[in-house]
Amino acid sequence: MNFHKMILIGLLLQFFDFWIGGFDILPDTIGLLLIGYAFTQVKAPYAKLGIGATVPLVLAAFAEIFEPALFTSSAGLLLQIAAASVQLLTIVQIACIFTVSNYIVQYEASLFPTVWIGLLVMMELLTAIGRHLNVQTYEHTVYALSFLLLSLYLYFFYFLWERKKKETALVKERARTN
């Protein structure tokens, strides 16, 4: 299984939740473990950082199996700090996915990684500053930005799918050349 395919499946497992009897049968932990495993299978810049960012995310997702929505902005002080750290580590993880992906597909030009990471950072900034501003404006901005992020998240799957095809083609080409 190539890098992009593992990342894609891992993200899909994270994206979809199937609750049966109060239990998520597709816990995020499995998806994150797969993403972490994908990083271990490549020798590329920032793959190790990708592993480093994924490990705490796996632990956080594991904790949420027993206590759903543990890391939220309405939790206690330490859990709020943990929630913010989880968000920042997720951005680091995504940035590592893009860096490794670029390395694998030989730096194919795309604006999407910059836009996607930029919006995620903006969302974090908004969370940090916005909650001290007018509550209605803040909530409306968060809803609007969340909708935009969701749309781009769906595009992220398509982006990875295309990169998966490219990676497969490159591997076949290398095999033929050798």
Partner 1 sequence: MKKLLLLLAAVGLLQFLSIVYYDTKMLDRPVPVAGLIDFTDHSIRFSYITNSSAPHTVHFLELNGNTYYPNEPFSMFAESGQVEHLAKYRYYSVVSAEIPLFTEEEIQPFDQPVQGTIHFMDGATAPIRLTAYSYEETPQLQSLSFSIGSHGTAELYKALVPFTVNRLTIADDRVDVLQFKINGEDMPLPLTSPLHLNKDDKIWIETSDGIARYKMEPFQLELQIAEGQQDGIITLSRLLNIMPSEDWVTRQVKESGEQ
Q: Which parts of this chain interact with partner 1 (CB under 8 A)? A: 45-46, 49, 73-75, 77, 80-81, 84-85, 88, 91-92, 95-96, 99, 117, 121, 124-125, 127-129, 131-135
Decide whether 48 or 172 has the Cβ nearer to partner 1: 48
Element (H, E) at 24: strand 23-24
Decide whether 30 or 88 has the Cβ nearer to partner 1: 88
SS3 19: strand
Least Cβ distance, residue 77 to partner 1 (angstroms):
5
Closest CA to 36 of 72, 105, 83, 28: 28
Least Cβ distance, residue 107 to partner 1 (angstroms):
14
Q: For the chain, what is the radius of gyration of the CA atoms?
A: 18
Q: How far apart are CA 88 and CA 154, in angstroms?
A: 20
Q: How far apart are CA 175 and CA 131, in angstroms?
A: 54
Decide whether 33 or 53 has the Cβ nearer to partner 1: 53
Least Cβ distance, residue 176 to partner 1 (angstroms):
32
